[in-house]
């Protein structure tokens, strides 16, 4: 059944250049004007009503047969009688979908956005064996939201997600949820291509074999994917990445420009929590909780897919601040600059990491490649690196490097100021812990273990050692391909469920669900990963913005 409704309302690579002295390094980091202000109370999460105005004209897609999919590769052609510039709501009826495909969404304006939301209950996608989940393409200035907002007529009151700050135990409570039950290895949750100026919020994605969200248009250097907002999403227990943004294929590829990513919970990802590539323009990543990441570091789909944050920048400015990063096996930050023919360099600023917390580090805190981009400066200030224990030799034939930051770039000005780290003897491979060496200025950095994070209710004990949490495997499929044994009290996840080793050694091959004599099932993680008030790291991670 196709429904129109009208409602009264108010509207709504080259080689490194010669070495340079550190004198050109700016003394203050460039900043982006914040698009919103943080609440003074870190636990305050007011209930918003009317975020999208009120609806005047809506359209409801047809309800599929039970456990079938909805295939609309050209949604405008499928419904030619719809005025695609006039409707303000596109409703997806509540159902369990094998897949959802919405293509050729309309081009709208920032003043006339199209809100796409669930109606009449929860929209669940996946778990029925299809080879893709929720695929969206085309258009601009649309919003996908599972937010319950009675005034704006979005979502459903029985699936409020974390509305009002109710973050604990919100699994399966979002209006739009992609859950494939780990049926297929290669599927991603939400895939977006050939679109720009869009927003995704209040969506839950879990137990997909590959990435939670993929957002890119591969092999099209002329595509545009600018001015995107990703916020207030809950992605957890994925086989690979949490966020896979920007292509990693050979050129030509389009840039990712002017994005803002904030207030997302990206938890327990098999490989990187966030992979952000082809960056240009001005991008912000702030107030997220990323990890534990690299949960499948012993048996990922290929080598070197065991970082937390993978960056690929071409030009512009990336500002990363107030985030929490948990878990990595190779590098907490895997940082690559790319010099691409035709890119403008006139607005280059660089990359700034400030006020971030990193823990659960098994090797490097960061790897930075040697590619030089004109006009760039890299700054790392007031970050904390803790929870380090060298473990990479458990899979690969490697030795402890003895430093935390591996910097191959010997030209770009780099500032390391007022950071704390613990574990390796040296902060970097290129300079004393504090001092100047060629392009690097290192000041006020201190080797001390930062205090542990205190969450409101993560579901794990206080002072938990995140290096004892990973995805179960019976053998390392990478590197030396060793059999894997777990020690007493180690915690693993298997098919999205947590278990704790209850004997001295949980031997290789003893899969948790089939060996209850050695593995104790644990309750699902509560995942309220807001920082507890009045603790040292208050202000990092999830924070309401108004």
Query: In the listed set 432, 455, 478, which residue is the last one of a domain according to the structure?
Result: 455
Out of 455, 486, 513, a domain closes at: 455
Q: Are residues 337 and 412 in the same domain?
A: yes
> Percent of the chain beyond pLDDT 70?
93
Residue-wise pLDDT for 212-228, tens only, equals: 999 999 999 999 999 99
**pTM confidence score:** 0.94
CATH number for the domain spanning 476: value is: 2.10.10
The predicted structure's pLDDT at residue 7: 40
Q: Is the pLDDT of residue 70 over 90?
A: yes
Taking only the tens place, the pLDDT of each residue in 337-379 is 999 999 999 999 999 999 999 999 999 999 999 999 999 999 9
**pLDDT band at residue 282 under the 50/70/90 scheme:** very high
Structural domain range at position 506: 460-521
Query: Domain check: are 119 and 160 in the same one?
Result: yes
Is 262 part of a structural domain of the chain? yes
Verify that 412 and 333 share a domain, yes or no: yes
Closest Cα partner for 178 from 231, 242, 114?
A: 242
My answer on whether 45 and 179 are in the same domain is: yes
* Domain identity same for 336 and 484: no
Q: Is residue 528 part of a domain?
A: no
Indicate whether 495 and 422 sit together in one domain: no
538 burial via Cβ count (<10 Å: 0-12, 13-18, 19+):
middle
Residue 87: name the closest of 110, 102, 106 by CA: 106
Residue 534 resides in a domain:
no
Chosen domain end from 437, 455, 473: 455
Within-domain flag for 527:
no
Q: How confident is the model at residue 36 (pLDDT cuts 50, 70, 90)?
A: low
Rounded to an integer, the average pLDDT of 11-16 is 34
Q: Give the least confident one: 25-39, 402-416, 449-463.
A: 25-39
Shared domain check, 268 and 297: yes
In a domain, 546, yes or no: no
Side-chain half-sphere CA neighbours of 132 within 13 A:
13
Residues 31-44: what's their mean pLDDT? Answer: 70
Shared domain for 337 and 469, answered yes or no, is: no
Looking at the structure, do residues 494 and 361 belong to the same domain, yes or no? no
* 530 occurs within a structural domain: no
**Which of residues 41 and 264 earns the better pLDDT score?**
264
Q: Are residues 424 and 498 in the same domain?
A: no
What's the pLDDT band for 546 if we cut at 50, 70, 90?
A: confident
Count: domains in the chain: 2
Domain membership of residue 539 (yes or no) is no
Supply the DSSP string of 68-84, one letter for each residue: --EEETTHHHH-TTS-T
How many percent of the chain have pLDDT more than 90? 89
Indicate which CATH number applies to the domain containing 20: 2.160.20
Averaged confidence pLDDT in the chain: 93
Q: Is the pLDDT score of 59 beyond 80?
A: yes
Task: Taking residues 182-199, report their average pLDDT.
Answer: 97
412 and 467 share one domain: no
More confidently predicted of 51 and 40: 51
Q: Tell me, letter by letter, the H, E, C secondary structure of 413-459.
A: CEEEECCEECCCCEEECCCCCCEEECCEEEECCEECCCCCCCEEECC
Neighbours of 469 (CB within 10 A): 22
Please tell me whether residues 212 and 281 are part of one structural domain: yes
CB 365 within 8 A of CB 333: yes
Which pLDDT score is estimated for 27?
Answer: 36
**What pLDDT score was predicted for residue 37?**
80
In a domain, 529, yes or no: no
What string of DSSP letters covers 122-145? Answer: EEEE-SS--S--EEEES-BSEEEE
pLDDT tens across 247-275, in order? Answer: 999 999 999 999 999 999 999 999 999 99
């Amino acid at each position: 059944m196709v429904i129109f409704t009208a409602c009264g309302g108010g509207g709504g690579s080259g080689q490194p250049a010669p070495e340079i002295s550190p004198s050109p390094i700016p003394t203050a980091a460039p900043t982006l004007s914040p698009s919103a202000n943080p609440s003074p109370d870190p636990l305050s999460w007011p209930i918003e009503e009317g975020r999208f105005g009120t609806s005047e004209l809506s359209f409801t897609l047809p309800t599929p047969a039970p456990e079938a999919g909805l295939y609309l590769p050209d949604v405008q052609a499928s419904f030619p009688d719809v005025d695609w510039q006039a409707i303000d709501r596109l409703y997806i009826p509540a159902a369990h979908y094998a897949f959802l495909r919405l293509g050729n969404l309309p081009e709208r304006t920032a003043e006339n956005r199209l809100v796409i939301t669930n109606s009449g209950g929860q929209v669940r996608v996946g778990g029925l064996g299809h080879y893709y989940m929720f695929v969206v393409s085309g258009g601009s200035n649309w919003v996908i939201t599972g937010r319950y907002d009675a005034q704006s007529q979005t979502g459903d009151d029985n699936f409020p997600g974390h509305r009002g700050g109710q973050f604990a135990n919100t699994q399966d409570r979002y209006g739009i949820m992609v859950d494939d039950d780990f049926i297929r290895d290669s599927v991603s949750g939400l895939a977006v291509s050939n679109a720009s100026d869009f927003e995704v919020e209040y969506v839950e994605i879990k137990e997909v074999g590959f990435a939670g969200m993929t957002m890119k248009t591969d092999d099209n250097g002329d595509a545009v994917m600018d001015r995107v907002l990703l916020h207030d999403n809950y992605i957890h227990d994925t086989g690979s990445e949490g966020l896979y943004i920007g292509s990693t294929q050979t050129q030509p590829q389009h840039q990712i420009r002017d994005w803002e990513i904030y207030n997302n919970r990206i938890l327990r990802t098999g490989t990187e929590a966030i992979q952000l590539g082809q960056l240009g323009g001005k991008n912000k990543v702030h107030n997220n909780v990323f990890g534990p990441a690299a949960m499948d570091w012993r048996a990922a789909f290929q080598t070197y897919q065991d970082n937390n944050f993978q960056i690929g920048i071409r030009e512009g400015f990336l500002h990363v601040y107030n985030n929490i990063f948990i878990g990595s096996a190779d590098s907490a930050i895997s940082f690559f600059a790319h010099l691409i023919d035709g890119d403008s360099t006139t607005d280059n600023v660089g990359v700034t990491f400030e006020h971030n917390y990193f823990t659960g580090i098994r090797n490097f805190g960061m790897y930075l490649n040697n590619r030089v981009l004109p006009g760039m400066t890299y700054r790392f200030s007031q970050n904390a690196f803790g929870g380090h224990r060298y473990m990479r030799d458990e899979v690969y034939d490697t030795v402890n490097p003895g430093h935390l930051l591996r910097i191959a770039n010997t030209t770009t000005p780099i500032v390391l100021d007022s950071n704390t780290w613990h574990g390796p003897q040296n902060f970097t491979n290129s300079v004393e812990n504090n001092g100047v060496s060629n392009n690097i200025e290192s000041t006020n950095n201190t080797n001390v273990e930062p205090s542990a994070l205190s969450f409101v209710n993560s579901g794990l004990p206080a002072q938990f050692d995140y290096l004892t949490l990973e995805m179960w495997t019976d053998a390392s499929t990478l590197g030396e391909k060793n059999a894997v044994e777990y020690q007493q009290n180690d915690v693993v996840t298997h098919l999205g469920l947590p278990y704790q080793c209850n004997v001295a050694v949980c031997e290789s091959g003893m899969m948790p669900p089939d060996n209850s004599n050695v593995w104790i099932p644990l309750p699902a993680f509560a995942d309220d990963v807001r920082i507890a008030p009045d603790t040292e790291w208050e202000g990092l991670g999830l924070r309401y913005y108004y």
